[in-house]
Every structure is written in structure tokens, then in C-alpha cells.
Amino acid sequence: MISHFQWKELRNNLLRREWSFSFFTQGTYYHGIYDKEGAIHWGTPAPSDALKQTLEPKIHDLMLYHIYEEH
């Protein structure tokens, strides 16, 4: 389960749009960069490959909700 999810816009220009994100899961803090193509660049420590497969769809959903949907 993801808790304390936070995001912040880093760049917003014609060439690049990037956001930083951070959260806790299983007692570990993770952070990274999400770009406009939907690629996730993990910071250190990066989650294991198995955990990435679980987390990345959730990160995509959260970013789409916060960035692209109007509320």
C-alpha cells in the first residue's frame, strides 16, 4: 500500500515536462521522476523488480489523477 504520496512539478516547458514524486510503502521511502511520456526514473534506493511491477501501475494512476484530470 502506498502512503504519503506527494508530487511536485519540476519542469514545464515545450521540450520537457517532469514531476518529482515520493511515497512510503512497506516502511520504506521511495522517490523518483515521472516524465511526460509516463516513464518512471527511480531514485535510490530503487524498489526490487518484483515491487516495481506492483508499484508502477499505481504510480501511473496517481500521476494521471493529479496531473491530467481536472478537479
Model confidence pLDDT, tens digit, residues 13-23? 877 889 999 99
- Per-residue confidence (pLDDT) for residue 26, from 0 to 100: 93
Q: Which residues contact 67 (CB under 8 A, 6 or more apart)?
A: 7, 19
DSSP 37-69: T--EEE-SSPPPHHHHHHHHHHHHHHHIIIIIS
pLDDT on residue 71: 62
Chain mean pLDDT for the chain? 93
For 29-42, letters b (16+ CB in 10 Å) and e give ebebebeeeeebee
* CA-to-CA separations, 21 to 5, 44, in angstroms, rounded: 7, 13
Reported as a single tens digit per residue, the pLDDT across 29-62 is 999 999 999 999 999 999 999 999 999 999 999 9
pTM tops 0.85, yes or no:
yes
